Amino acid sequence: MAWTKQVLRVNLTAGTCVAEPLNMDWAKDYLGQRGLATKYLVNEIDPKVDPLADGNKLIFVTGPLTGTMAATGGRYSVVTKGPLTNAIACSNSGGFFGAELKFAGWDMVIFEGTSPKPVYLLINDGTAELVDAAHLWGKTVWETEEVIKKQHQDPQIRVASIGRAGENKVLFAGIVNDLHRAAGRSGVGAVMGSKNLKAVAVRGTLTSAYQIANPEAFFTAVDAGKKVLAGNGVTGVGLPTYGTQVLMNVINELGALPTRNHKDTQFESANSIGGEAMHEKRETDGKANLVTNGACFGCTIACGRISRMDPGHFSVKDKPQYHGASGGLEYEAAWALGAANGVKDLEALTYANFLCNEDGYDPISFGATVGAAMELYELGILTEAEVGLKLTWGSAEALVTLAEWTAKGEGFGVAIGQGSKRLCAKYGRPELSMSVKGQEFPAYDGRALQGMGLAYATSNRGACHLRGYMVSPEVLGIPVKMEPQATEGKPAMLKAFQDLTAVVDSSGLCLFTTFAWGLQDIQPQIQAACEGDWSDDRLLLIGERIWNMEREFNLAAGITGKDDTLPPRLLNEPANSGPQKGAVARLDIMMPEYYQVRGWSADGVPTDATRTRLGL
């Protein structure tokens, strides 16, 4: 079986670490990772609990393919109730931490209660203990990982930790592993900080921690899948060469790049902050922003970016620790730190992104919140005296200063750290928060791409591109080409994407494989790895079950169909330039059909028939 069948339950209040068997009945119904951990969470907490209170739980979880030779089989997730949204939160990360946790013999670690003092969890194969972390509190992620490795004299320990943002309960704080891979969205790091849990350090050497059900069939399926990835234009060429930044100019030319807090749909300086700009100096003076690409455990795509900064740039000229190479810009971060604020300084964006990695907070929510603050400043609602600096569109100095303040919990950075929904509400302009359910939009305009607008509005964890990536059909033509402004067929396509995404997120694989893979490539790998029958129909039913389970948790938490909407700007203010000029988001057409194909009532509640069919 591809599961270790072991769960580690850590009671932070009591200071205990206890092993228990994995609920295999649930594993058969929810597969692993996102689905299985969410099943545990919804059965163990009150949906109305304050996310930062003692009663919330935090779950680190792997999938059945995590730690296997499957391409990209290195993923893990962190599941909790999110403080940014008060909704279900599942944040997915790559790197090497997830595989190490599996090698140590654990499918899942459940944290409950709150430690009376800062601690970190140390796992060494089948043993676990809580260790005093007083000397780590106040340190960055980068410092924390270095200290833990030196303290235990083992450079191969894998560490997932929070920085000062998580300690200060920045509502979009993440959990960073392997220095620059992150469970980055929805505030999972703030929950970790609220529990006085600084880090999880893992060393795994148990080669027989789990067994593949049918090794020969698994090797065959994995090999076939890798060939598909290598032969695909996106996963074999585009992502390895430019990373996700390959999208910057494509989306901008389409007129779908939200700019200056979604006031505009194109950024005149997109060329300055895209993937090509990160490359451009490499062949002339060897000082390109991009040093190389990087890969997570088992990954054959290698979309990660490793970048360096110009030592003479104003951001870092007096900070030599930022002169070396580290995790570089990816598309969503480059957009949020750049176009969302009108900033075209690539070096400033790189520095701000370094800070997000180093102190553990989400660059998407941070950048989008700065964009909202800049509009409030433009309108005269925020003043220089109140903010502590001039907050004008395009100001790289303002961006990097706010990034520093947010990391440290200083000055106006405290307000930024609460996210755009709370910031805009505080100043009487809630409509200026470009968010859904409290979570800020990623880098696609919901007016220009109708399917993405619907995906944002219906996402269970707030605005998210990774819960139903309708950019694939609307821009890339995967699996079929759908025109950006078409509404016909989008609800059914989105449902299919959402259900399949839930399966991929629960398997231990990276979602980026689905640029090339369909279920016909994924199913044979799961079938061979896991004992039993894992047909296409069963997997899609599992994905649908997971989506509906998350929906029911949110409903019980007080989030209703009324929250399945977009800001007034996207519904009422037409896109102002580019090929999609004049468009608004047409939720009025698509939402009723979406509820119908989901088997929900007119107000967005799963019907009894749907609940019975899914076994909820």
Beta strand ranges found along 239-300 (DSSP E):
290-294
User: Is the CB of residue 105 less than 8 Å from the CB of residue 67?
Assistant: no
Residue corresponding to tokens 């060329």:
271
Tell how far CA 602 is from the center of its chain: 30
Overall pTM surpassing 0.95 (yes/no): yes
What does the pLDDT read at residue 320? 86
Whether the Cβ atoms of residue 358 and residue 372 lie closer than 8 Å to each other: no
What is the C-alpha separation between 80 and 513, in angstroms, rounded? 25
Residue extent(s) of CATH 1.10.569.10 domains in the chain: 259-433
Question: What is the DSSP annotation of 402-446?
Answer: HHHHHHHT-TTHHHHTTHHHHHHHHTT-GGG--EETTEEP-SS-T
Q: 393: phi > 0 → left, psi -120 to 50 → alpha, else beta; which? A: beta
> What is the rounded CA–CA span in Å between residue 406 and residue 160?
20
- pLDDT tens digits for 184-231? 999 999 999 999 999 999 999 998 889 999 999 999 999 999 999 999
Please give the share of the chain, as a percent, with pLDDT higher than 70: 99
DSSP string, 110-167: EEES--SS-EEEEEETTEEEEEE-TTTTT--HHHHHHHHHHHTT-TT-EEEE--HHHH
CA distances to 1, 7, 567, 595 from 17, in Å: 24, 10, 45, 43
Tell me the pLDDT tens digit for each residue of 371-399. Answer: 999 999 999 999 999 999 999 999 999 99
Q: Give 450-614's CATH code, choosing from 1.10.150.20, 1.10.10.60, 1.10.599.10, 3.30.360.10.
A: 1.10.599.10
Digit-coded pLDDT (tens) for 574-593: 999 999 999 999 999 999 99
Please determine, looking at this structure, whether the domain spanning 259-433 carries the CATH number 1.10.10.60: no
Domain 6-203: CATH superfamily is Aldehyde ferredoxin oxidoreductase, N-terminal domain (3.60.9.10)
Residue 283, Cβ density class (10 Å: 0-12 exposed, 13-18 middle, ≥19 buried)? exposed
- Give residue 207's pLDDT: 80
- Ranges for all domains in the chain classified under CATH 1.10.599.10: 450-614
Compute the average pLDDT of residues 80-87.
98
Q: What's residue 286's pLDDT?
A: 59
Residue 76's pLDDT band, with cuts at 50, 70 and 90, is: very high
Which part of the chain is CATH 3.60.9.10?
6-203
CB atoms within 10 A of CB 46: 12
- Asked whether residue 547 carries a pLDDT value surpassing 70, the answer given is yes
Cα distance between residue 326 and residue 335, in whole Å: 19
Q: For residue 11, report the phi and psi dihedrals to the nearest 5 degrees.
A: -95, 105
User: 134 pLDDT exceeds 60?
Assistant: yes
Distance, in Å, from the CA atom of 102 to the CA atom of 118, rounded to the nearest integer, reads 25
pLDDT digits (tens, 9 = 90+) for 14-25: 999 999 999 999
Does the pLDDT value for residue 283 go beyond 60?
no
Gap between the Cα atoms of 66 and 103, Å rounded:
9
Query: Is the preceding omega at residue 311 within 30 degrees of 0, hence cis?
Result: no
Measure Cα distances from 436 to 49, 257, 456 in Å. 20, 18, 7
Tell me what pLDDT residue 208 has. 85
pLDDT tens digits along 343-369: 999 999 999 999 999 999 999 999 999
